[in-house]
A and B are shown apart, each in its own frame.
Chain A
Amino acid sequence: MYRPSGLTALAVFNFVLAGWGLLKLLGVAIVLAAGTPKGAQGQPPPQFLMLLTLGYLIFDIGLMVTAGIGYLKLKRFLGRWVGSIEAVVSLAYFVAVVAYVQSEGIPFDVRNLSALVYPGLTLVLLNIVFRENLVH
């Protein structure tokens, strides 16, 4: 079946972002291993947040690569469902981090909103635009 070029682009984005996530994972692992990490204000970042990020990154990278392969093979489960689950997990992680940061009294940084762009668009593209293509 015909694969739209946008779906190929989405798969490429998934692989690139998975690679970026791998670098972040490496960074978090180094910070955790170093023992006394320093945050932006010279304070150590909370252990809870670091472990949450570590868990999220491991889970997310796996889902991103799997979904990317699913997009290329036009798979309904591996592409549409795994891609959608990945997007929902990313959104849930965003909400959890924002809620935690707000509860600590740290002001909201608008830059964080850019983390919503990819998962939000993935959900829309997979379930509306490319729904008819991911059917195998």
Chain B
Amino acid sequence: MNFREAKIVTRFDYKNLVRSAPGVTFLILYLYVAINLGAWLAEQLRGTATLGGGANVDPEMARQATNSLLVKIVSWFLGGKDEVVRFLVFDRPVAMSAFFLLSLLVMPILVLFLSFNQISGYVSRRSIRYIVPKTGRLELYLGLFASNLLFFSLVSGALTAVMTVGWVLASKDVGTGVVVGYSLQILAAVWLSCIPIIALMSMLAAMTGSPVATVFLGLGTYLVVILAGYFMSAQTEWGKVFYYLLPLEPKYWFAYPSVGHFIGAGALMLLYAAAYLALGWLFLRRRNL
């Protein structure tokens, strides 16, 4: 593995990604949709309770809040885990918690549309034949993965910066420190939960060699894993194993109160990413380009 060559590939592809029509469109639409979603959630906060005050929450406000849409969203995601729901509703700004959980659900799916054109673009255009003599396949494969990750980091970083300003301006009862700290936690969690998906798309791109097929296969994999997990878990206890083919369940550990859960979820995300990348490499290593 030549890190210098991988770095050159990353820099070159990152520049291309930022300048490409899908890159620019993704950047604008992603920020626009996410900000409006966050703003809508913040709007729900008005008239119920700002919460985030821990033990000082007024019981009447708490009663109102438990009927609010935001609490229903949080409870839906973490059904049965009452202590986590209580933590997210009463110890954290509830609108931010709802945004956090919705981001964990939606962002990995949006990332499927960002990272489909990795090595598959070069394979389908046959331009990979001119690149491979200059650099190794592994360097190219990992370099393209890194450039997609870098681009996603830029977008999610920009989003978090804008959202943090908005949250600080909108929430009067919650301290700036709490808002900024929670924003950083959301950024880290969403970023980590998207790494395996970018790696999954790297693997699928190496398998198919076509950007269109990569998108459809990525979406199909998501859908099949969810449906198979749902139906199989209804039949047998072991059916739940299907859910773990993708990091669907563990990503919600990021929202748990303990630091241990956060670190465990982060480590698991990196493990998933490494497994997908390794599988993709097995295909690409001997593929006829």
Chain A interface residues toward B at CB < 8 A: 4-10, 13, 107-114, 116-118, 120-121, 125, 129-130
Contacts and interface: CB of A to CB of B under 8 A. Distances in A.
A63 B27 CA distance: 22
B21 A108 contact: no
A112 B32 CA distance: 11
Contacts of A121: 27-28, 31
Interface stretch (B161-169, B245-253, B261-269): B161-169
Contact of B19 (A5, A108, A112): A5
A110 B24 contact: no
A129 B19 contact: yes
Contact of B43 (A8, A111, A118, A130): A111
Is chain B's interface secondary structure helix, strand, loop, or mixed overall? Answer: helix
Contacts of B20: 4-6
B218 interface: no
A10 B72 CA distance: 39
B28 A118 contact: yes
Of the candidates B19, B43, B162, the one having the most CB atoms from chain A within 10 angstroms of its own CB is B19
Contacts, number: 68
B25 interface: yes
Interface in B121-170: 162-163, 165-167, 169-170
Given A5-B20, A111-B39, 17 more contacts: A4-B20, A6-B19, A7-B19, A10-B24, A109-B39, A110-B39, A110-B170, A111-B43, A113-B162, A114-B31, A117-B28, A117-B31, A117-B32, A117-B35, A117-B162, A118-B32, A129-B18
B100 to A, nearest CB: 15
Nearest to A10: B24
Given A108-B169, A108-B170, A129-B18, A114 B28 contact: no
B166 to A, nearest CB: 4
B38 interface: yes
A88 B240 CA distance: 53
B50 to A, nearest CB: 12
B19 A114 contact: no
Contacts of B43: 109-111
Contacts of A107: 46, 170
B64 interface: no
A79 to B, nearest CB: 14
A6 B24 contact: yes
Going nearest first, the 7 A-B pairs with the smallest beta carbon separation are: A111-B39, A5-B21, A4-B19, A110-B39, A6-B24, A9-B21, A110-B166
B42 interface: yes
Contacts of B170: 107-110
B39 A113 contact: yes
Nearest to A7: B19
B284 to A, nearest CB: 26
